[in-house]
């Protein structure tokens, strides 16, 4: 099995779980924040929807400079808009990795800011940490946001107190 196939399989599994949480976003609470320093519920969900899109630059370019082109995307303001954006990003992740060889994924990739390297690692490691783990981290935050708003949580890695499965 190629590394690209393994990453796509893992990502597809995690994306399905993430989508279950995004489907539960309360439309009337997208501006809600648990703390003044926190992102709003809608901004956090949009960030989660945007993260998979980054795979395209990691898979296809040698570097990305935040100062020259910030990693920003659309700012949907509805649950359906966020879901549509997430679905598009998920498709982008999968298509950007299809056919990539192990040799290509072991080549170095850099995240830079004004020419200074912030992150440098093999593409495969970057896809695993900067995209998959980063998305999972924020999904955990989202589950807390939803819990604080009395939104029933789906099963993530095991039974949910709300669904019992």
156/43 Cα distance (integer angstroms): 21
Does residue 75 fall inside a structural domain? yes
Q: Is 162 among the domain residues?
A: no
Is 164 inside a domain boundary?
Answer: no
Strands of the 63-65 sheet, one edge to the other: 63-65, 108-113, 116-122
Asked if residue 154 is part of any domain, the answer here is no
Whether 160 is covered by a domain: the verdict is no
The answer to whether residue 31 is domain-embedded is yes
112-147 pLDDT, tens digit each: 999 999 999 999 999 999 999 999 999 999 999 999
Match 């020419």 to its residue by tokens.
Answer: 115
pLDDT above 80 for 164: no
H runs (alpha helix) in 54-158 = 55-60, 79-97, 102-105, 123-126, 134-148
Q: Residue 132: which domain range?
A: 3-148
* The predicted structure's pLDDT at residue 165: 63
The number of distinct structural domains making up the chain is: 1
pTM (predicted TM-score): 0.94
- In CATH, what number is assigned to the domain containing residue 30? 1.20.120.450
The phi, psi pair for 64, rounded to 5°, reads -140, 130
For the stretch 54-91, pLDDT in tens is: 999 999 999 999 998 767 778 999 999 999 999 999 99
In a domain, 156, yes or no: no
Query: Within a domain: residue 153?
Result: no
């Amino acid at each position: 099995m190629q590394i690209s196939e393994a990453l796509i399989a893992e990502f597809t599994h995690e994306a399905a779980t993430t989508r279950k949480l995004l489907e539960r976003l309360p439309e009337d609470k997208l501006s809600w924040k648990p703390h003044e320093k926190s992102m709003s519920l809608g901004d956090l969900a949009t960030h989660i929807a945007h993260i998979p899109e980054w795979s395209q630059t990691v898979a296809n370019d040698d570097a990305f400079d935040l100062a020259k082109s910030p990693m920003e995307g659309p700012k949907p303001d509805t649950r359906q808009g966020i879901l549509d954006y997430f679905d598009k990003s998920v498709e982008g992740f999968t298509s950007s990795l299809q056919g990539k060889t192990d040799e290509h994924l072991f080549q170095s990739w850099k995240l830079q800011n004004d020419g200074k390297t912030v992150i440098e690692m093999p593409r495969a490691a970057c896809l695993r940490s900067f995209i998959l783990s980063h998305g999972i981290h924020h999904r955990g935050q989202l589950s807390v946001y939803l819990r604080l708003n009395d939104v029933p949580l789906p099963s993530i890695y095991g039974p949910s107190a709300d669904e019992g499965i």
